[in-house]
Amino acid sequence: MIVQSAINHCSSIKTCNKPATDFTSIPVINLGDPESKFLMVKACEKYGFFKVVNHRVPMEFITRLESEALGFFNLSQSEKDKAGPPDPFGYGNKRIGSNDDLGWIEYLLLNTNPQVLSLKTLTVFRENPEIFRSAVNDYIQAVKTMAYEVLGLIADGLKIEPRDALSKLLRDENSDSCFRLNHYPPCPELEALSGRNLVGFGEHTDPQIISVLRSNNISGLQICLKDGTWVSVPPDETSFFINVGDVLQVMTNGRLRSVKHRVLANTQKSRVSMIYFGGPPLREKIVPLTSLMGKQEESFYKEFTWSEYKTSAYKSRLADHRLGLFEKTPSTSQ
């Protein structure tokens, strides 16, 4: 009965039976390395993805927030539902976005403004809301600082002027950034019957400038290489992974590519991840940076605001080529 119940519950969620090879060539960037700015650019050009070590984010911030997150996700479903549905902030379960994308996931989406925390979430943490708020704020502020440094180094590596052309968009008080805590519960029943892996979060690119990801020591993250091959990223609970987002791809006129990625659920163990999505202000016009454009070089993209792109992206399906609507056709780019 338990097996059949699980299968019925998962029947509308995609499975994946194509094994992916381990990504043994993942670029590892030490933030203390004088060559890090060049290594970052190379990694972003080739993969749109790299791992950061020597990041100076205190481990106590990481472990404290993971503990708080697990405390929430281990609550009864009725208690968790009090923090949902997301609007967009709050608790979500299985359903991803508004276009019927489903995954084997539950999550909390939070505003990164330390003055704003979802009232829905606080109702769930009513016994210790300040402890949760403090854990979230400490973690986000530390990760933000690292994200500013990473973007500054990428700007240095690309010789972008001014150096803060990218990081200032995240520092802006109107920056439209967000933070998500993901939980992928185990589902051993499905594998027992089908031998397939359950898709926890379907393939997609992140719309923002960059994403800063940290997870526990459970595998599941996969990225797609330029040749279409899916590779599994070995977990590292002490390090961070950086994804190039769609906006950074446009701002570099395609030199840096946003990375398509997905998450497969583990059949035996639960996976917890924390992602900071660094976004620009809603009214920010997104165009290739002048300092990166050659004299005769033209933009591959139409000009748009982050608000316009965000609205379009979140109306689409996860796997859609979201930037396609904003690319110039050959006839309009000549």
CB neighbourhood size of 42 (10 A) = 15
SS3 298: coil
Joined together, the tokens standing for residue 91 give 């608790």
CB neighbourhood size of 272 (10 A) = 19
Question: CA-CA distance, 3 to 17, in Å (whole number)?
Answer: 19
φ, ψ (nearest 5 deg) of residue 261: -145, 165
Least Cα distance to 258 among 320, 216, 173 occurs for 320
Ramachandran quadrant class, 228 (left: phi over 0; alpha: psi -120 to 50; beta: rest): left
Which helix (H) or strand (E) segment holds residue 25: the answer is none
Residue 271 bears catalytic tag:
yes
Beta strands in the chain (DSSP E): 15-16, 21-22, 28-30, 49-53, 90-96, 101-111, 178-184, 197-204, 210-215, 221-224, 230-232, 240-244, 261-264, 271-278, 285-286, 304-305
The catalytic residue among 163, 271, 283, 322 is 271
Beta strands in 229-334 (DSSP E): 230-232, 240-244, 261-264, 271-278, 285-286, 304-305
Question: CA-CA distance, 121 to 129, in Å (whole number)?
Answer: 9
Which helix (H) or strand (E) segment holds residue 193: the answer is helix 188-194
Question: CA-CA distance, 122 to 125, in Å (whole number)?
Answer: 5
Question: CA-CA distance, 177 to 107, in Å (whole number)?
Answer: 16
Residues involved in catalysis: 271
